[in-house]
Chains A and B, each alone.
Chain A
């Protein structure tokens, strides 16, 4: 039972919407954090770390806001470290394992292109605070997309080996992209209240961007598959459990401690 705000959307639904955005950035940042010290060159370590830092910053702002709206005294850390898998609302694509550098770049590219379209539209959100967060995130995401697109092109149009590897990465990760644009009841409510964008429009814009880069990368756009993932509803792949185990270990072991 949750009060509705002036726009008719229940507070709990607005919180869920914010958590979808926050958790996607958080989980993706967590994945990128695993790369540090293991990238193909020092400079790529720095580039991936830069993206991780930006995504962490976004998730902190969004989580803090979600916690305030919720009004139960949960701050960014309580939300990040003490929720269970079913309460995490990131898109399933974000939690996929790093694999090799190609897998990581494909995952990053698909999400960067999605986040850029999303944040560009959220700048006009009726939720002023969300609009402000999005305005900052847009600038960062432009740079992330530049980095991941450039690498996708180098790998796709590099050597025969890199082309084969990254085409395979694309085939493997493409099925997770459907979830980004499949509107459920929450997405529809958020869109009609003017808080967030219409996902169909988002999909078209994303699709054009992706096609342009894939063409330059000489990569083949995979066919859509019918299976739909539901990470944004809390039903995840097997990977999230392990990821949260690492993420949450210290706080769950030392309950109530300050760090």
Chain B
């Protein structure tokens, strides 16, 4: 059972919107860099638009003591059913 059977691991960095830095959001497995960008789009940006995605082979990253932070996401306007506020849950029903 060897890790060589996985596609290589890529670390993913996303710029949520203009003016922000790219932030590390996690990793994906992909056969090549182009696939990694597509996978990152599908895994990490289902709720946002206007992103920039950087991918780097995990093995290429040289680390000291990385400080990682979360990326912020903006809603994708035409997929409103993803968002909690889309549903008209009656006010009497609490805690949903």
Contact = CB atoms under 8 A, between A and B. Distances in A.
A150 interface: yes
Interface size class of A (residues with CB under 8 A): 10 to 19
Nearest to A136: B78
Contact of A43 (B30, B34, B46, B78): B30
A154 B28 CA distance: 18
Contact of B38 (A53, A57, A147): A147
A233 B79 CA distance: 32
Contact of A47 (B7, B29, B42): B42
A46 B78 contact: no
A43 B31 contact: no
A91 to B, nearest CB: 26
Interface residues of B, number: 14
Contacts of B39: 43, 46-47
A1 interface: no
Given A43-B28, A43-B29, A150 B34 contact: yes
Contacts of B30: 43
A147 B34 CA distance: 10
A150 B38 contact: yes
B29 A154 contact: no
Nearest to B28: A43
A50 interface: yes
Contacts of B34: 150
B3 to A, nearest CB: 15
Contacts of A257: none
B50 to A, nearest CB: 13
Contacts of B7: 41
A146 B43 CA distance: 17
Contacts, number: 25
Interface string A11-55: 000000000000000000000000000000101001100100100
B33 to A, nearest CB: 12
A154 B34 CA distance: 12
B31 A154 contact: yes
B56 to A, nearest CB: 17
Interface in B22-44: 28-31, 34-35, 38-39, 42-43
Contacts of A57: 78
A41 B43 CA distance: 12
Interface string A83-95: 0000000000000
Nearest to B32: A154
B5 to A, nearest CB: 12
25 contacts: A41-B7, A41-B29, A43-B28, A43-B29, A43-B30, A43-B38, A43-B39, A43-B42, A43-B43, A46-B39, A46-B42, A46-B43, A47-B38, A47-B39, A47-B42, A50-B42, A50-B46, A53-B79, A57-B78, A146-B38, A147-B38, A150-B34, A150-B35, A150-B38, A154-B31
Given A43-B29, A43-B30, A47-B39, 19 more contacts: A41-B7, A41-B29, A43-B28, A43-B39, A43-B42, A43-B43, A46-B39, A46-B42, A46-B43, A47-B38, A50-B42, A53-B79, A57-B78, A146-B38, A147-B38, A150-B34, A150-B35, A150-B38, A154-B31
Question: Which 8 pairs from chain A and chain B are nearest by CB?
Answer: A46-B42, A43-B39, A47-B42, A50-B42, A43-B42, A46-B43, A43-B28, A43-B43
